[in-house]
Amino acid sequence: MNRAHGVDLSHWDGSFDPGKATGRIDFAIMKVSESLVKSPAFAAIWSGVEKAAVRGAYHYLLSGWDWKLQADKFWNIVQDYPFNLYALDFEGIGNVMDAKFANMAHLWMDHIQEKAGKKPVLLYTNPAHYDAELYPYGDWMKDYPLWIAQYWTTNVGPTREPALPKKRKAGDWTIWQYASEINFAGHGKEYGTGSKSVDLNVFNGTVADMHTWLGIHEPPAETLFELIQNQNEAAIRRDELARLEAYIENRKAQLGG
């Protein structure tokens, strides 16, 4: 399967210009907020994300702040932008991993889903947090598409399958963050970012599958990578034609005609 391939970005990436990318980008997901603070790199990252065929936005949840204030802050930012999907980042840095925090995640997800309507809201986490910090307090996660962070350290690539939480069925994932600076350092420039490395992801399906899932009904546009390739090929053909025309004119002059 030729899976849709994309990047996720935050202030750590500094900037993002898919026009400078040589790697394939079918979708781009950006960090919008953390606690009650809008990402300081929002404008710089959005200027690139808006060029992607599929655009996503995520919030980093913090246990020390009211979940609803965080959700409303996030929604107040994203509601005026053409995002296709939303996500909640649930992880341990800066957080107290207890039942209260797990419930905060549940409430945040439900609240944003109600506002988002038919647009999907994904849960981003890793297998360890899912099993140890979420599942002991309920199984509401099964009702939301999973964006799983899991990194193989050998044979890194988008065609493998991720290791999933114990309570998630095989194949039950929507987006897989398969690479980061942890296991695939040094590829930021290849994907148009201002950072040394970048997080890479795949969708569990083709570009057409992803568009269908998101309710994007027009035929999938050619990816930026394909567009650049086609433009380069067209430029080569124009150059060849120009040289041929110049040769013909030169021969005509030599033959006196």
SS (H, E, C) 34-99: ECCEECCCHHHHHHHHCCCCEEEEEEECCCCCCHHHHHHHHHHHHCCCCCCEEEEECCCCCCCCCH
Closest listed residue to residue 100, CA positions, set 126, 63, 136: 63
Closest listed residue to residue 167, CA positions, set 120, 215, 133: 133
Phi-psi group of 68: left, alpha or beta (phi > 0 → left; psi -120 to 50 → alpha; rest → beta)? alpha
Contact present, 63 and 104 (Cβ < 8 Å): yes
pLDDT of residue 101: 98
Architecture of domain 5-220: Alpha-Beta Barrel (3.20)
pLDDT of residue 253: 74
Alpha-carbon distance 48 to 193, whole Å? Answer: 9
Closest listed residue to residue 117, CA positions, set 252, 227, 212, 215: 215
pLDDT of residue 241: 75
Contact present, 119 and 85 (Cβ < 8 Å): yes
Residue identified by tokens 């953390």 is 34
List, in order, residues 6 or more apart from 248 with CB less than 8 Å away. none
pLDDT of residue 223: 55
pLDDT of residue 197: 93
CB-count exposure of residue 215 (10 Å: 0-12, 13-18, 19+): exposed
CA distances from 120 to 8, 11, 108, 147, 175 (A): 16, 24, 13, 11, 12
What does each of the 257 residues of the chain score in pLDDT, given as a tens digit? 699 999 999 999 999 999 999 999 999 999 999 999 999 999 999 999 999 999 999 999 999 999 999 999 999 999 999 999 999 999 999 999 999 999 999 999 999 999 999 999 999 999 999 999 999 999 999 999 999 999 999 999 999 999 999 999 999 999 999 999 899 998 999 999 999 999 999 999 999 999 999 999 865 555 555 656 666 676 667 777 777 777 677 767 777 75
Contact present, 120 and 86 (Cβ < 8 Å): yes
pLDDT of residue 224: 54
pLDDT of residue 243: 76
